[in-house]
Amino acid sequence: MSLRTPLVSILAATSLVFVASASLAMPAPGSALRYTVTRNGDEVGSHIIQFSKDKDALKVDIHTDVKVYLAFIPVYHFKHDGRETWQHGHLVSLVSKTDDDGTPKNLDVELRGDKLAIDSSLGKDTAEPDIQPASLWNAHIVSADHTVLLNTLDGKKMSVNAAYVGTERINAKNGPVAARHYAMTGELERELWFSADDVLMKVRFKGSDGSTIEYLLN
């Protein structure tokens, strides 16, 4: 088994929570969503999303810390810190730093005029202002209007499609919850479960080594 394979695919879009849109529920300032990250059922890390308000801006801070061990020996680590800033339901900036098992990745996105300017470890680019970051917390990403997502590690634009699978009951901290299940395919493959009030409850996908990775809201 390659030392980098266990969770390489976990990071195509690391981040998750409520929706920064006037038409959807706004998170309360100071609130947080905390997720346990598992690999084949074993806990390997945490994913935390914190919300704060600054005048008319919603700031979303995302922290991910993952470590994979093989026979008590660390074989993979991933640490990600990012901040999204939203105004009136639109992304206006995104800054992140990532340590992907020793490989640094940086991203700086800022709204300039009618475009998002992207400066990352991959180089410079631009994106349309209505693009959604692939941080997964915003339920708008499963809309048919959003078929391109912005990778929150390196700024790559990813073509995707999301299909509604059905309503399912999943286990949550306070008991079973009815959640809408979506399957996302394309350059980012994820299964997503959102509650009735658009909170991301669960994420599931396959790692590059075939392992099952899950994020579950605590």
> Can you tell me the distance from the alpha carbon of 176 to that of 17, in angstroms, rounded to the nearest whole number?
18
- Burial of 51 from C-beta contacts in 10 A (0-12 / 13-18 / 19+): buried
> Can you tell me the distance from the alpha carbon of 116 to that of 147, in angstroms, rounded to the nearest whole number?
17
> Can you tell me the distance from the alpha carbon of 156 to that of 217, in angstroms, rounded to the nearest whole number?
27
Instruction: For each of the domains in the chain, give its residue range(s) and CATH number, in order of start.
Output: 8-217 (2.50.20)
**What is the rounded average pLDDT for all residues in the chain?**
87
Q: How many residues does the chain have?
A: 218
Residue 182 CB contacts under 8 Å (≥ 6 apart), including other chains: 142, 162, 163, 164, 165, 191, 192, 193, 194
Residue 203 in tokens: 């994420």
> Residue 85: is its pLDDT beyond 80?
yes
CA atoms within 13 A on the CB side of 164: 9
> Residue 25: is its pLDDT beyond 70?
no
**Strands 32-39 and 42-54, bridge-based pairing:** antiparallel
Determine how many CB atoms are found less than 10 A away from the CB of residue 173: 10
90-144 residue pLDDT tens: 999 999 999 999 999 999 999 999 999 999 999 999 999 999 999 999 999 999 8
Q: Residue 86: pLDDT band by 50, 70, 90 thresholds?
A: very high
The whole-model pTM stands at 0.85
Helices (H), ranges, 126-166 = none
> Residue 22: is its pLDDT beyond 70?
no
**Strands 132-133 and 148-150, bridge-based pairing:** parallel
The CA-based dihedral angle spanning residues 165, 179, 183, 153, taken in that order and rounded to the nearest 10 degrees: 170
For residue 52, the model assigns a pLDDT of: 94
Q: Give the three-class secondary structure for 73.
A: strand
Question: Of 104, 80, 112, nearest to 14 (Cα)?
Answer: 80
Residue 3 in tokens: 């030392």
Residue 24 CB contacts under 8 Å (≥ 6 apart), including other chains: 18, 139, 140, 198
136-195 residue pLDDT tens: 999 999 998 899 999 999 999 999 999 999 999 998 777 899 999 999 999 999 999 999
